[in-house]
């Protein structure tokens, strides 16, 4: 896993809460900082890349570990 600045664990939460909580976390970060997002909702495999694309917060890394999805999102400049 790449280094990150903030960790957000949404384990057990279902759509759309992981996206809503990711938005809130990113809004409190500065451009270039990285968010490690942990999700158990399998829909996140599609939703987080869509969120990343639409909000201009690049998805640096994504993988699955111990039945959980891990994403590294970088806070965009906008």
User: Which residues belong to the active site?
Assistant: 15
| Structure-token pair, residue 71 | 């994403």
Are 39 and 69 within 8 A, CB to CB?
Answer: yes
Tell me which of 29, 38, 43, 55 binds other proteins, using CB under 8 A: 55
Tell the smallest beta-carbon distance from residue 29 to other proteins (Å). Answer: 15
- The yes or no reply on residue 73 touching other proteins (CB under 8 A) is no
Shortest separation between residue 67's beta carbon and other proteins, angstroms: 15
Q: Does residue 49 touch other proteins according to CB under 8 A?
A: no
Q: Which segments of 1-78 are extended strands (E)?
A: 6-9, 34-39, 59-65, 68-74
Which residue number, 50 or 64, has a Cβ lying nearer to other proteins?
50
How far separated are the first and last CA of the chain, in Å rounded?
Answer: 25
């Amino acid at each position: 896993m790449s280094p990150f600045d903030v960790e957000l664990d949404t384990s057990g939460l279902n759509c759309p809460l992981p996206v809503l909580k990711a938005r809130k976390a990113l809004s409190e970060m500065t451009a270039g900082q990285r968010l490690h997002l942990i999700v158990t909702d399998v829909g996140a495999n599609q939703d987080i890349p869509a969120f990343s694309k639409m909000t201009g917060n690049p998805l640096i890394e994504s993988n699955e570990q111990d039945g959980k999805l891990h994403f590294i999102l970088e806070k965009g400049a906008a």
